Amino acid sequence: QKEVEQNSGPLSVPEGAIASLNCTYSDRVSQSFFWYRQYSGKSPELIMSIYSNGDKEDGRFTAQLNKASQYVSLLIRDSQPSDSATYLCAVLTGGGNKLTFGTGTQLKVEL
Amino acid sequence: GAVVSQHPSRVICKSGTSVKIECRSLDFQATTMFWYRQFPKQSLMLMATSNEGSKATYEQGVEKDKFLINHASLTLSTLTVTSAHPEDSSFYICSARVPRGVINEQFFGPGTRLTVL
């Protein structure tokens, strides 16, 4: 079992819709969770961080964490073509020393 | 967010040469920096953790004699790819953590694309 799992996609949504990206992790003692956006040929950019169960909102982005189910998600409201990118889920594992990444979900927002 | 820079952004070199990549934290001090490698259509793979003033910690399978890491100051870490070969061609990205209250957020540099001919 991979430590951090994501559906590779591509996930296609129409402009203006809500995009829902999901991630599961295997290390039960993980405490911190992150979503990064990576455009093709560029390095990852931090979008959201979350460590408490529940929802955390920042503009059009909402991160959701459920530690009991070992599940973290990212919702993007009012999706725009500029949101088209690969979204990486990352979990701080190994006692909080190592950031482990999923393989990423490719999001395509269509006009 | 915190700013991390990398230089150079792109390198093309001949097989057998050594390449040095610099990573700098511009607006904060970083006692720990991280070096990742990313092959096309694959996820980020942690190569090593760079600790200021001490030896780097390498991940399993990463040759420490081939990928030399020096963390000379609180704002600078360097990665030297020694005797580079075509299979070392990849996207190398550094990052650093910044404490944000109860959570440490990790920010990435823009990356260095290495092509070994």
pLDDT tens for residues A50-69? Answer: 999 999 999 999 999 999 99
Determine contact, residues B80/B68, Cβ cutoff 8 Å. yes
CB atoms within 10 A of CB A7: 15
B21 interfacial to chain A (CB closer than 8 Å)? no
Answer positive or negative: Cα dihedral of B4, B6, B10, B13. Answer: negative
Contacts of residue B56, defined as CB under 8 A and 6 or more positions apart, other chains included, come to B48, B49, B50, B64, B69, B71
Q: Is the separation of the CB atoms in A25 and A70 below 8 Å?
A: yes
Of the candidates A44, A49, A97, the beta carbon closest to that of B108 is on A44
Confidence at B43, pLDDT banded by 50, 70, 90: confident
Q: Which residues of A touch B (CB under 8 A)?
A: 32, 34, 36, 41-46, 49, 51, 88, 90, 92, 96-104
Average of pLDDT values for B77-84?
96
pLDDT band of A74, cuts 50, 70, 90? very high
| Residue B88: HSE in the Cβ half-sphere, 13 Å Cα cutoff | 25
- Cα→Cα distances A60→A32, A76, A79, Å: 21, 6, 8
Of B1, B43, B107, the CB nearest to A103: B43
What average pLDDT is seen over chain B?
93
- Distance from A14 to chain B by nearest Cα, in Å? 24
Say which of B46, B93, B113 has its CB closest to residue A98.
B46
Evaluate whether A65 touches A72 at the Cβ level (below 8 Å): yes
